[in-house]
Structure 1
Amino acid sequence: MNLSKSLYTKAIQCPKSLWLKKYKPEVLTPPDASALARFETGNVVGDLACELFPGGREIPYDSRDFKSMAQRTQAYLEEGVENIYEATFIYDGIVVMVDILRQTPEGLALYEVKSSTDVKPIYLHDVSIQLYVLESLGYTVRACHVVHINSGYVRDEMLELDKLFMVVDVSDAVQQMQASIPQKLEEFKTYLSDSLHEPDIDIGKHCNHPYECDAKAYCWKTQRHIPEYSVFNIFNLGSKKQQQLYAQNIIMIEDIPDDFAMTSIQKQKVDNWKMQRTFIDHDAIAEFLETLNYPLYYLDFETFVQAIPLWRGVSPYQQIPFQYSLHIEDADGTLAHREFLAQSGSDPRRALAEKLVADIPCHVDVLAYNMSFEKRVIASLATQFEDLSEPLMCLHDNIKDLMIPFQKGHYATPLMKGSYSIKYVLPALVPQMEQAYKQLEGIQNGGDAMNAFASLHDKSEQEQKKVRAQLLKYCELDTLAMVRVLGKLKKI
């Protein structure tokens, strides 16, 4: 059996995904741009963590010759190299590469580097298989660690690695897992020994945890024909009610028995779908509209994050605003548009904050969709720039939420598929706007925008100009969409 630590953890989540990876890889969903960006972040974090253990030597990666990698690792150990990066070991067909291996008089110390901000349970399985291989080869391992990002760190002028990273000793936890590993390996070997018969493992909570499985689309849609809107949208995956229905082969919402125990909100969603009925509380919507004062300022931010903060006052994974769109609507329906897009390669927050308070007067109604996001961004800017704190917090306190009528169920249509996310509300209320997003070139969602700006400084001047134009068109459409949604609420 050929197994790596990543395949081992994949099998821990679901052995079927391991079988598919080996015998039917064409059914797996390839990583998208966001996933590729996360992989790159992991590489950057891993390289930087090595600086915590300086003066080491790295084992060059060669996917065609793990044996040579292991031999070089052994040579470095015999030479007395204190720190080895990507130290490689092979035992019984299992290949593990230790991110950082530290050689001490008392034995070896393992360090697994993760770009997350805590120690997730799946990481312990990752480290446990490394410990299993090394101890099976006869090495003495004195300690095992997970190195992860400290989310509470705030960068000063210089990056302080000892504060950016947290080193957590997980020796006891992974040692306790050793006894169960041989049985797991035997189970995985049994699955892989039969190349003709796909494992019969049902869908469940494991499809999403700890990660969304790359076989989910295959298992859910191709094999079980689960529609986009099903009982899994009404009841949480893995919940008791969802499991009760699935045990009775009930997947379609229209098949849920009328007497099935549900909350009032769940029942409303089910009834609306069964009857294909649009529910509108005209009085509640009118009451919401009466709270809005013109001119209305429709605001939407685009942000990106840095695992390794590049600028003073930034924490790991802090949302850094780099762009906003602002549509201004007068009482007679007249629209004006303002926008901001930062230059790449430098901290965009100050310039954005200054433009924001210049574009929006203090005592006007600012409308956002899911306002908690905009409020967090503005509050963070106010904390960072004390001289702008007063006008920024004035904007913060005057934000109102366009999501409320949908979140509270004042407007619900089957087309919204039980959700109040703008992703479902917009095409349900203003279908032509959905087509407008599809016609955008290059950038069609927030993830695209975040990745595009984060990598903008690496592009040529001509390419930067093209991407900036795409960013502006996308963000402008976000606030125009809010204008159209509110317009629909006015009409009804």
Structure 2
Amino acid sequence: MKHISDIKKFERCEKLLWWTKRAPQPFQAYVTFNENILELTLKRLGIDNYLKGQPNNTNDVFFDNEDKYDVFVSTRFEYEDLRVKIPIMVKKSDGYFLYYTYASCFPKESEAQTMADNEWVLNKLGIKVVGRKVSHLNANYCRKGELDLNELLQIDDFLYNDRNRPNNKISSLIKHRKRNLSPILKKMDETLQMEHIEKERTNICTRRNKCDYFDSCFGVKGDTSIYHLVSSSKKFDLYDQGIHTINQLDFSEIEGTRHQFAQYMAAKSGKLFFDKMAVEGFFKDIQYPISYLDFEWETFAFPPYDLMHPYDVLTFQYSLHIEDKDGNLRHEEFLGKNDCRETFIQHLIEHLPKEGSVMCYNVEGAEKLRLKQLAEQFPQYKEQLQQIWERMIDLAIPFSSGLIYDNRMAGMYSLKKLVSIFTDYSYDDLEISHGMEAVRSYINLENDADPAVIESLLKYCAMDTYAMYLVYHWILKQY
């Protein structure tokens, strides 16, 4: 059985489809879908009488009930071993009007190809489509009280371009994307039957995010692989020229970035690269007490509480290790449930020292951003929160900018990787050892106050701030 998602994979890279069938990767959800876009759309449209399809339904379920219902929801259809699901079908006098649902704010024009492919199956089964619209989230919606579906959901007959601007009508986009899927489905079958596929590397392999199967496809091995050369526009060409490791590089092939230089020097010497003068300069303004601070948060597709927009973040936990000038270390922490934003703010303001440096890891994309969002939602605390984010120091910068580089980093500089390289500390023994695991545990925590879950969440977040303390003190020992 094949699905539309399989066609997308095949057209990106035939070997991607081949890999996903032989070595499927676990799905990682980075957003909590706390409402059902399909159910909300039905309410928005005032539809309450319909036949809802089930995962194993055949075509006959639709055809056997076509005279009994005017609306069909989550209906499954199959043709030439391709299975599709249509969110909402409304019967009209001359055919069916379709509603496609998206739990996103700006469904892109590329979705028209999926719609065209879905409708190819319908057409082959003799089902006429007379129009279609999309239901999606309104990015400007701000929750105040109960969800206002008329404001939260937009019902449009157009899709959005890459700049998130409405551009072309869906009907026009589909018209230019109609195609015969039979030859494609046949080629997919042939590909899946192959025992081995030789794949030429292209920019598709690393477009946006590197393919999950990249290392397996191209045999990436070793910490000094040329594929680990950061921000390099030439590494693929270099590999093709026979330069497979960074230590094989000539200095002239470095493209001028500090990070590449650090990688080159570490690979050539086989030792730690440490720019002592630059590192000292970076940390020269550190003031005690040092507050090592880390947040945990969750992103909700649908705003769960007042003053939140679609895809806003709820910060529910922090860990704070405080080091005084004599080297004494103490720990504070917070873990909230449900709408704990204001309590989080109050607790942080109360327990974080009013002076000294606040050390975080990847501060611009994490803790500082979270505090600025909270300041917008609760402006009465803006001055106090700003006083915190203005004292923040980003421990990631010496590693991300190439002031410090160890070959074992293999082009990466996550805090978990650094602490495993430069200290004896490890996340491996924790019940929760990854940020997304923490998020999932938090979601369960709202309905289940299991002391073991609470303890695991607190230990995980505390590990991050203690890891910062250890890495910073490792740096100090290198002076």
TM-score range, shorter chain: 0.7 to 0.9
1:147 maps onto 2:140 in alignment: no
Aligned to 2:345: 353
Shift of 1:157: 0.5
> Does the CA-based 8 Å contact 2:303-2:310 persist in structure 1?
yes
Among 333, 357, 375, the residue aligned to 1:339: 333
- Per-residue CA deviations over 1:409-440 (Å, capped at 9, x if unaligned) read 2222222223343233322322x12x2x1111
Comparing 244-253 and 153-162, the one that deviates more:
244-253
Aligned to 1:315: 309
Aligned to 1:115: 103
> Does the CA-based 8 Å contact 2:409-2:417 persist in structure 1?
yes
Shift of 1:408: 3.0
- Per-residue CA deviations over 1:184-206 (Å, capped at 9, x if unaligned) read 334324435xx354343345444
Q: 1:424 to 1:215 in 2, by over 3 A?
A: closer
Give 1:221-236 correspondences, 5 Å limit.
Answer: 224-227=219-222, 230-234=225-229
- Partner SS state of residue 371, structure 1: coil
Among 440, 445, 454, the residue aligned to 1:468: 454
Among 300, 306, 310, the residue aligned to 1:306: 300
1:452 maps onto 2:422 in alignment: no
Q: 1:73 to 1:175 in 2, by over 3 A?
A: same
1:158 is aligned with what amino acid?
Answer: E
CA distance in 1 between counterparts of 2:264 and 2:410 reads: 10
Shift of 1:321: 0.7
- Per-residue CA deviations over 1:391-413 (Å, capped at 9, x if unaligned) read 11211222222223223322222
1:135 maps onto 2:127 in alignment: no
Q: 1:219 to 1:458 in 2, by over 3 A?
A: farther
Aligned to 2:240: 247
Q: Where in structure 1 are there 5+ consecutive unaligned residues? A: none
1:86 maps onto 2:74 in alignment: yes
Give 1:39-188 correspondences, 5 Å limit.
Answer: 41=33, 44-53=36-45, 54-63=47-56, 66-67=57-58, 70-81=59-70, 83-105=71-93, 107-120=95-108, 123-168=111-156, 169=158, 170-179=170-179, 181-188=181-188
Aligned to 1:9: 8
Q: 1:392 to 1:42 in 2, by over 3 A?
A: closer
- Per-residue CA deviations over 1:339-364 (Å, capped at 9, x if unaligned) read 1111x3x2010110110111124343
CA distance in 1 between counterparts of 2:388 and 2:35 reads: 39
1:443 maps onto 2:432 in alignment: yes
> Does the CA-based 8 Å contact 1:28-1:215 persist in structure 2?
no
Aligned to 2:26: 31
> Does the CA-based 8 Å contact 1:9-1:125 persist in structure 2?
no
- Per-residue CA deviations over 1:347-389 (Å, capped at 9, x if unaligned) read 0101101101111243432111111111111111122223222
1:274 maps onto 2:264 in alignment: no
CA distance in 2 between counterparts of 1:486 and 1:240 reads: 32
Aligned to 2:167: none
Give 1:372-383 correspondences, 5 Å limit.
Answer: 372=364, 373-383=366-376
1:486 is aligned with what amino acid?
Answer: Y
- Per-residue CA deviations over 1:431-468 (Å, capped at 9, x if unaligned) read x12x2x1111x211211111110222233x4xx21100
> Does the CA-based 8 Å contact 1:114-1:147 persist in structure 2?
yes
- Per-residue CA deviations over 1:281-317 (Å, capped at 9, x if unaligned) read 2222222332011111111111012112211111222
Q: 1:165 to 1:110 in 2, by over 3 A?
A: same
- Partner SS state of residue 73, structure 2: strand
Shift of 1:235: 5.1
- Partner SS state of residue 95, structure 1: strand
Q: Give the number of equivalent residue pairs.
A: 463
CA distance in 2 between counterparts of 1:475 and 1:243 reads: 38
Comparing 113-122 and 365-374, the one that deviates more:
113-122
- Partner SS state of residue 337, structure 1: strand
- Partner SS state of residue 178, structure 1: coil
Shift of 1:250: 4.2
CA distance in 2 between counterparts of 1:101 and 1:127 reads: 13
- Partner SS state of residue 446, structure 2: helix
Q: Where in structure 2 are there 5+ consecutive unaligned residues? A: 159-169
Shift of 1:234: 1.5
> Does the CA-based 8 Å contact 2:51-2:69 persist in structure 1?
no
Shift of 1:143: 2.8
Higher-helix-fraction structure: 1
Aligned to 2:256: 263
- Partner SS state of residue 319, structure 1: strand
Shift of 1:142: 2.7
1:290 maps onto 2:289 in alignment: no
Aligned to 2:166: none
- Partner SS state of residue 453, structure 1: helix
Shift of 1:213: 5.6
TM-score, scaled relative to structure 1:
0.85
Percent of aligned pairs sharing the same letter? 27
CA distance in 2 between counterparts of 1:299 and 1:313 reads: 25
- Partner SS state of residue 458, structure 1: coil
